[in-house]
Structure 1
Amino acid sequence: MSYFRTFTRLTAPALASLGLAFTLTTLSGCGSRSGTDAENPSAAADSAKPVVVDTVALKRAAMQRDSLKADSIAKKNGQLPGAILPGHRIVAFYGNIRSKGMGILGREPKEQMFRKFAGVLKEWQEADPSIPVQAALHNVTITAQGTPGKDGKWRLMNSKATIEEVLSWAKEHNCILFLDVQPGHSTLEAELPKLEQYLKDPIVHLGIDPEFSLSTMPGVRPNQKIGTLDAKDVNFTVNFLARIVSENKLPPKVLTVHRFTRKMITNYKNIKLDPRVQIVMHMDGHGEPTLKKDSYHDYIQTEPVQYTGFKLFYEYDARPKPHHIMTPKEVLSELTPKPLYIQYQ
């Protein structure tokens, strides 16, 4: 990718066991856990009580547009039960388990990758002990292709076996799972229903990638130009996920939207929030730290939607020397607002 381009808390004993058999604390409520319930039986008992949902607070949360204030949203009565954000920081490994070239997820052998992931999660928890870390796998499931295919849509979906395998990896290691969509010359309306059966699982969430959305650019191959999605496309996705949440009585879904240019998302002010879906605008570009921070400011901070994310590239961020991959402490001290979704590619 060019520059144009259950729920848990980590504990030291958990990291020690199996290298990455994370023993993480299951959320019982609405993202308000401090992570101390395992040591406080009375807190665990309290968390098991029915959650009283303040509908006025929910409406206020649904209208929240300023990502600078996302961390201050009331966690108990401003979020639906089971919401991951803002009570956790999601840290994800990205890629495709069938490809060595798309990211750390798939590039290294499974157990080697999970050992590395354990170290990364530990670094993030130590960098900010105030918020529990939620481990995630982010698998590109519908991938833009260099050839048009039989239907001329320039995209290919993972097989059922591949999706079930990466889902099993996530469950084995107490991760949530993001299924990412690069629609090529297709549309989200056509592609998202293919994933509905998997999104009914409470640990499965969604990512959409405007870079590889080219339905408005006839004749353009993926990677020739940066694609685009409009607020109406994001709103369609939010409504699609919200329906699945309601029909299946699920906790809120997290939706990541990749972005590193202004035109990748048009009419952002028209994006409508819904407490059943938590939107993360995710700075997806690579490069040296100053460029990445500037992009985060220009396309994420100054055009806020709800929550924010930031990507780190193992292969590209450190080129050329002396550039380096930003550390968790650097990310947290140099970005405003502090991102609640971190992705490694």
Structure 2
Amino acid sequence: MKMKNFFLLILLSLTTLTLFTNCTESGKAGKADSTNKAAKNGGDTITAAPGGAPLDTALYDSLMVRMANGDTTGRWPVKKAPYPLPGAILPFKRVVAFYGNLFSKKMGILGEIPSDQMLAKLKGEAKAWERADPKTPVQPALHYIAVVAQGDGGKDGKYRYRMPFKQIDTILYMAKKIDAIVFLDIQVALSTIQAELPLLEKYLSMPNVHLGIDPEFSMKDGTKPGKKIGTYDAADINYVSGYLADLVKKNGLPPKIFVVHRFTHKMVTNYKNIKTRPEVQFVMHMDGWGEPELKLGTYRNHIFPEPVQFTGFKLFYKNDLKKAPHRMLTPPELVKYKPAPMYIQYQ
């Protein structure tokens, strides 16, 4: 399987972007105070703290069973995961996201076409998913690569480029237009997740901002990104989820969605040691491209047999059409998978 194009197209002259200060207010309506421990109430609800909307655990359980799509192996739904804090998005809604970077038209639909056209297209995809699964509302999202692996080592030799904050502010402004949430994605290259994650704390402290990390570009052995496929261990993943959980508790936020991309077995090691937390909703995301049967095989071999909590599925507008039968999988097909992916990403 070919790797995603990771080279960052650096423009020689950048258009000055306006800093939008009002974007941080998006999503505050669903904020819940999670400073107290979650407590069961009659077995049917969980309340985080006074004033927090209770979680209907009976509904949550029924939706998790529905997500399993009749799986008989006992893997799905995952039984070890705790109930989320109030304000959780999954499995009450399915997230449909557009992925990319504003500096490059080659990294995904998010930066490929003008923003108004992109947002209209995203709304169209959201409607398609709601038609395929009318019982599950769709939450639109913009998934922005905030730290990008690149071919140039840079001044510190880490082969990654951190996006200027004005770019992230622009994404937040775009998202607010259609009530979308935002994901910030990190490709560490020769850096580490421990070095890169804290730099985004001011954004991750917002209730509408979530996180993705990409093992493909985590080059632990010092190999330049793009030469081989990288990896994360459960210890790295637990560091990230612990960091996010602390932000949720510190700021009284609803749970964060945490996406880990994957299309090979070695991209994630020791999955059984991955911790699940009430403050974080974990998504193992099938990130491979190709013809439908190849993608189904990747999902079947690397996502289905190693359950953590939720699953995701990526669709490529271009790469999925490179080989026969030259078509993308459709929402009606994907909602039948076991388990049904609750996070969908278009690149």
TM-score grouping bracket, smaller chain normalisation = 0.7 to 0.9
What does residue 237 of structure 2 align with?
234
Percent of matched pairs sharing the same residue: 51
For the residue of structure 2 that corresponds to 1:282, the secondary structure is strand
Please report how far the alpha carbon of residue 294 of structure 1 lies from its aligned counterpart in structure 2 after TM superposition: 0.6
Q: Distance in 1 between matches of 2:80 and 2:129?
A: 22
Match of 1:284 in 2: 287
Letter in 1 for 2:210: H
The count of residues paired between Structure 1 and Structure 2 equals 295
Instruction: Read off the aligned partner of 2:144 and give its amino acid letter.
Output: N
Residue among 217, 221, 238 paired with 1:217: 221
Provide the residue aligned with 1:319 in structure 2.
Answer: 322
The answer to whether the 8 A contact 1:281-1:305 is kept is yes
Contact persistence 1:94–1:103 (CA under 8 A): yes
Q: Select 1:148's aligned residue among 128, 138, 153.
A: 153
SS of 2:322's partner is: coil
Matched, 1:166 2:174: no
SS in 2 for 1:68: coil
Task: Tell me the distance in 1 between the aligned counterparts of 2:254 and 2:75.
Answer: 21
- Deviation of residue 97 (structure 1)? 1.9
Preserved contact between residue 67 and residue 337 of structure 1 (Cα < 8 Å): no
Supply the distance in 2 between the matched residues of 1:126 and 1:143 (Cα, whole angstroms). 34
Tell me, yes or no, if the aligned pair for 2:32 and 2:53 is still in contact at 8 Å.
yes
CA contact (8 A) 2:281 2:310 kept: yes
Aligned residue number for residue 34 of structure 1 = none
1:179 to 2:179 alignment = no
Gaps spanning 5+ residues in structure 1: where?
6-23, 31-47
Alignment partner, residue 341 of structure 1: 343
Partner of 1:134: 139
1:330 CA displacement: 1.1
Given that residues 3 and 287 in structure 1 are in contact (C-alpha distance below 8 angstroms), is that contact kept between their aligned partners in structure 2?
no
Residue type of the alignment partner of 1:343: Q
Q: Deviations over 1:269-321 (max 9, x none)?
A: 00011110011000000000001001001111001111000000001101124
CA 1:67–1:118 in structure 2 vs 1: closer, same or farther (change >3 Å)?
Answer: farther
Q: CA deviation at 1:53?
A: 6.4
Deviation at residue 28 of structure 1 after TM alignment: 7.8
Q: If the length of structure 2 is used for normalisation, what is the TM-score?
A: 0.80
Give, in angstroms, the shift of residue 114 of structure 1.
1.4
Contact 2:291 2:325 (C-alpha < 8 Å) held by counterparts? no
* Higher share of residues assigned helix: 1
Aligned to 2:257, what secondary structure does the other structure show? strand
Following TM superposition, by how much is the alpha carbon of 1:173 offset from its aligned partner in structure 2, in angstroms? 1.6
Gaps of 5+ in 2: 6-26, 34-49, 65-73
CA distance, structure 2, for counterparts of residue 260 and residue 281 of structure 1: 10
Q: Once superposed, what is the RMSD of the aligned Cα atoms?
A: 2.7
1:254 paired to 2:262: no
Say whether the 8 Å CA contact 1:67–1:308 is kept in structure 2.
no
Q: Indicate conservation of the 8 Å contact 2:256/2:279, yes or no.
A: yes
Give, in whole Å, the separation in 1 of the partners of 2:133 and 2:265.
30
Aligned to 1:243: 246
Q: C-alpha displacement at 1:257, in angstroms?
A: 0.1
Which runs of structure 2 are paired with 1:1-345 in the superposition (5 Å)? 2-3=2-3, 50-52=52-54, 68-69=76-77, 78-214=83-219, 216-218=220-222, 220-333=223-336, 335-345=337-347
Query: Secondary structure at 1:296's aligned position in 2?
Result: helix
| Aligned 8 A contact 2:189 2:225 in 1 | yes
1:117 Cα deviation from its structure 2 partner: 1.2
* Contact 2:101–2:110 (CA under 8 A) maintained in structure 1: yes
Q: Which amino acid aligns with 1:257?
A: V
Q: Which amino acid aligns with 2:331?
A: P
CA distance in 2, matches of 1:194, 1:67: 36
Alpha-carbon contact 1:206-1:254 (below 8 Å) kept: yes
TM-score (norm 1): 0.80
Deviation string, structure 1 residues 101-146 (Cα, Å, up to 9, x no partner)? 1000000111111121121111001100111100000000000010
How many angstroms does 1:52 deviate by? 4.5
Moved over 2 A (4+): 1-5, 26-30, 48-55, 320-323
